[in-house]
Structure 1
Amino acid sequence: MKSEMDVGTKAYEQIEKINHRNQLLVQQLNDTPHTQPEIRKLVSQITNEKIDETTEIRLPFYTDFGQNLHLGKNVYISNCSMFVDLGGIYIGDNVLIGPNATITSVNHHINPEQRRHLKFKSVYIHDNAWLGANVTVTPGTTIGENAIVAAGAVVTKNVPANTIVAGIPARVIKTIKEKN
């Protein structure tokens, strides 16, 4: 995937075709009750990757594109989470994502004449991370292994492994000590 895309180009038209198909699947996913195996099957269609049977996704579940969302094993995604994944979102194993979390890998230009053009920066959430309720993760950031992002935090910079961050913008408030 390129780091930028202009609206109205052939590449953007291809993205829109995939997006249209996936939005129908997202609507189908959220409009009727489903078992966890059914949810994983539909999300697998949306992401174009098999979702591991250990992963649990609570509805409603939202993504604007879907095919650049990559989920590890034993992931828990709570209800009303939103993934703006056109730039790539990579979620490791054993990750917990609280309700109403927003993870975005797309931004826009500052220049008003280019504002509708897209800029992509992947987001990486490493193994055993925990994102609390109402967390926002901005494009280009990495959440380190075992890190905790407190409820309501806005992540604008990388979160080191084994730390707890909180606030707007999120900042380190504590280091997690590993067991001996």
Structure 2
Amino acid sequence: MSKDILERLKAGEPIRLNDPEYSKINEIVETTLRLSRKLNNSETTSEVRDLLSKITDNAIDESTTVFPPFYTNFGKFITIGKNVFINHACSFLDMGGITIEDEVLIGPKVNLITENHPLDPEDRRALVTKPILIKKKAWIGAGATILPGVTVGENSVIAAGAVVSKDVPDHTIVGGIPAKIIKTIS
């Protein structure tokens, strides 16, 4: 039996616009856009959590705070742990899956990008995804960008403005473009 388009998407298989099941993705995107407008006009963090729970189809714990505006194109593949703080104007492109473990801090204007495209110009509109994992107690600095397939280690710090294209070991500080190890945290 062939896999559903959402299973293929999360597995990183190329998804093309002419896929017979592509409408499933469009339906989720349209629902997410509608709910995102409401989320970004919320007046309380509780209302933000409730709407984000609907977007992700996962309950967002009351210990977690997300400040709007918050942007996501899909939402269904986002998982957020407890005691997480996500600051203003973050953008999560989650078709490849984003997992944020407990006690993570995410600064303003952080981009988590799980989506990419083939280099071949004839196939460039295809979508290829890889998941992002942010482990416990990591801190992602303002304006950082984390690219597809990256794992950020436990207790690690991503410096403001960094572009992270490779896994970050536990207890490590990285910074720069592309991000490189600055030092370890003892």
TM-score by length of 1: 0.96
Any conservation in 2 of the 1:102–1:136 contact (CA below 8 Å)? yes
- Structure 1 counterpart of 2:85, from 45, 62, 76: 76
Letter in 2 for 1:14: K
Work out whether 1:17 is the aligned partner of 2:27: yes
In percent, how many aligned pairs have the same letter?
Answer: 45
Letter in 2 for 1:176: I
Equivalence for 2:177? 168
Any conservation in 2 of the 1:5–1:11 contact (CA below 8 Å)? no
Within 1, Cα distance between the matches of 2:21 and 2:185?
Answer: 44
Equivalence for 2:3? none
Q: Paired residues, what number?
A: 176
Deviations 1:109-142 (A, max 9, x none): 0000110000010000000000000000000010
Q: Describe how 1:39-58 pairs up with structure 2 within 5 A.
A: 39-58=48-67
Q: Which structure 2 residue ranges, 5 or more long, are not aligned?
A: 1-6
Equivalence for 1:148? 157
Work out whether 1:8 is the aligned partner of 2:13: no
Equivalence for 1:26? 36
Equivalence for 2:97? 88
Letter in 1 for 2:111: T
Letter in 1 for 2:90: S
Q: Which structure 1 residue ranges, 5 or more long, are not aligned?
A: none
Letter in 2 for 1:100: K
Secondary structure (helix, strand or coil) at the match of 2:21 reads: helix
* RMSD, aligned CA: 0.8
Please state how far the C-alpha of 1:33 moved relative to its aligned partner.
Answer: 3.5
